[in-house]
């Protein structure tokens, strides 16, 4: 199976660094699948689900906003946060979602609206990944 070097860098850590067979990114205009020898490009990544395959095993995780550089034999993802499905605290994400929704409803200021939308997107990304984990059990 051919592979490429995948590096996923979050704000606080190198989340993954190694050889991968496939990665699916939450790109701005939808899901994007990348195989070895993909065309060179830079894409914006939005908060959502990222899946990467290593030795035939699919690893599911939530990532935050960022970007990805695709260079044929190397893919680098730089993002706000990255968490494996099994590391996500569902109750915390549900509380964060509720708080963000309350703040959006309160319509306090434009800046608070933008921050709340971003917090909501992060919580939704975490909940999407964990709900799939439950379904696969
Ligand atoms: P919260 O309001 O619950 O802190 P947040 O979206 O503001 O959520 P972030 O600023 O994205 O949180 O993350 C801060 C740190 O907490 C990061 O290290 C992130 O990985 C971790 N984190 C945030 N939410 C969760 C969660 N639901 N489960 C596990 N780790 C989380």
Residue 2: the pLDDT is 93
Domain 4-85, architecture per CATH: Sandwich (2.60)
Tens-place pLDDT, residues 79-88: 999 999 999 9
In angstroms, the Cα distances linking 55 to 13, 15, 52, 71 are 23, 18, 10, 21
Please report which residue ranges of the chain form alpha helices under DSSP H.
90-106, 110-135
Q: Is 111 helix (H, G, I), strand (E, B) or coil?
A: helix
Residue 136: the pLDDT is 65
Gap from CA of 14 to ligand 1 centroid (Å): 16
Domain with CATH 1.20.5.440 in the chain: 86-135
User: Torsion-angle region of residue 124: left (phi > 0), alpha (psi -120 to 50) or beta?
Assistant: alpha
Looking at per-residue confidence, does 120 or 132 come out higher? 120
Tens-place pLDDT, residues 10-57: 999 999 999 999 999 999 989 999 999 889 999 999 999 999 999 999
Q: Which residues pair with 19 in a beta bridge?
A: 5
Please choose from 12, 61, 93 the residue to mutate so as to test ligand 1's pocket, defined by most ligand atoms within 8 A of CB.
93
Gap from CA of 114 to ligand 1 centroid (Å): 17
User: Torsion-angle region of residue 55: left (phi > 0), alpha (psi -120 to 50) or beta?
Assistant: left
Gap from CA of 126 to ligand 1 centroid (Å): 9
Q: Which residue has 């971003």 as its token pair?
A: 118
Residue 53: the pLDDT is 97
Which CATH topology does 86-135 take?
A: 1.20.5
Domain with CATH 2.60.15.10 in the chain: 4-85
> Residues 57, 84: contact at Cβ < 8 Å?
no
């Amino acid at each position: 199976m051919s592979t490429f070097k995948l590096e996923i860098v979050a704000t606080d850590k190198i989340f993954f660094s190694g050889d991968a067979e496939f990665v699916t990114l939450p790109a701005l205009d939808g899901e994007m699948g990348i195989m070895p020898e993909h065309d060179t490009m830079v894409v914006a990544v939005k908060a959502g689900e990222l899946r990467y395959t290593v030795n035939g095993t699919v690893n599911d995780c939530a990532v935050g906003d960022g970007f990805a550089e695709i260079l044929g034999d190397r893919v680098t993802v730089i993002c706000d946060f990255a968490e494996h499905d099994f590391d996500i605290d569902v109750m915390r994400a549900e509380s964060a979602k509720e708080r963000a929704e309350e703040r959006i409803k309160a319509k306090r200021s434009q800046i608070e609206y933008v921050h709340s939308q971003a917090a909501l997107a992060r919580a939704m990304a975490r909940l999407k990944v964990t709900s799939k984990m439950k379904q696969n059990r």
